[in-house]
Structure 1
């Protein structure tokens, strides 16, 4: 620990000379602002310029910039699936933060390229004024019922959910179910936060991929929203922090990564209702600990991600456009 502290002090000194950093991320804006507020208390000498996009669009931006020889970002925060893509492309560098030892071993890679900062669980959200408790779907097959025609909301990049159903049921049966659900004309929206807000407002009754922390936040605000876990449920890959290989301000980046993996940074995430990646920070949502999870072959998902994304768009998004 003493050696780690010396190294951390070394890049903290150099970070003061760099003065700023650029953060590319997928986390919603209000939560990112809370993270940055906490970081300013830790490192007031660093100005942070955040840029947010959805996962696929952020990957496209990073790829386009790097191929053009433009290296703008100092830190990436993105889903584990995209983290694997960035590693395979050679776009990120290993960084073993002194705080990394306290991160759950299932939420970081062995080589030090990425570290989970929190993990999401997507549950079946429902609008309690529109869905009586006895009608809440208990199986994924229930979503194909004509009862839910036009009453299901999906996010336009719900590829992980699609892949998890195929792993759970098998490719053939899974695709058949996806097509049957698509026949009920689900509403396609951009962003899981918006999905929850629209469901709460009554635009549709069900959201099969509602982030559990957003469901709980809506409930706390008195919105007519609750959630149910259709078990076994696939957890999402962790949302990860990583260092771009050609970050223009690598020392500032390390200071930020150290903070977000620290207990202080993780407490900020926990207070938002996020599931912390650290083993010494309690989870914020008690109901989550009781959910039966399925084991996902995320390496298979990553290798087949392009195909899954194409199939999801063909089944759901392209059909919704007509």
Structure 2
């Protein structure tokens, strides 16, 4: 009887100790709009999650849910994470903005970090990268390398982030090639390989020999590879498996340092609501290796553009720039302010077509 009591007491003690150890861990949740194996946007966010585990070891526990649709389903997933003890939740797509705010109100002791949005709360921060800086580099390469003078662009959704990217790529392609023309197809999805492949094929049929994308799969790379004589750029991740051609470079989103730092802030009690928007200089936007399919002089021009953006000596939106309707936007030498960029809802002069409403 005494032995049984002792064993029971020991088991209870071990259970309590294990529970205390688990309670000491900081639980970090991630809500992903696509699959972790998409090769692009969600893949890089998941790399950031893995970096949190590596950096903080047994002090953290991470959980994630992938393929979460923007809207009510996202709110359900976030709520469940909070109920299951998450201390910090990263919501990694623009369309999660309102669901994040809604759930945060219900769980004031949980910290939320929303990617690419603009709404904050005492327990909600936002973070994004200046992807448009990477588009300036891509546009420089595209303008030099197109032979047909037609650049195809696969847009995801007509939100400011995507519009900024199109404008930046066009401005910088036009600077090096006054004859360049952009053709834009809106896919109205972040991740749908079939739709993305179809969009790439249509653009190629329309004469595009350069394809840029703001969608997350590698399907446009594969379509270009099949077509031949078409170059592409990796989106969000390096997509280097398609190098040296058609993929000639890429924009790489490096979320790891931010995720590690924000998790540490929750752990040490220093977390505060903030708005972060970093670019090439801070390392949040990386430029993937420029392949040997790009001529040396074009590569040099692209790297010079990257360096000037990184050190702040050049801004991707520097006037003179007019809006699509011909009205003046930026005077010679004037640079765009962050407020205008954050809400950008217009094309620059020279881009044809309307932004869908």
Q: Smaller-chain TM-score range? A: 0.3 to 0.5
TM-score under structure 2 length normalisation: 0.41
Which has the higher Rg, Structure 1 or Structure 2? 2
TM-score under structure 1 length normalisation: 0.45
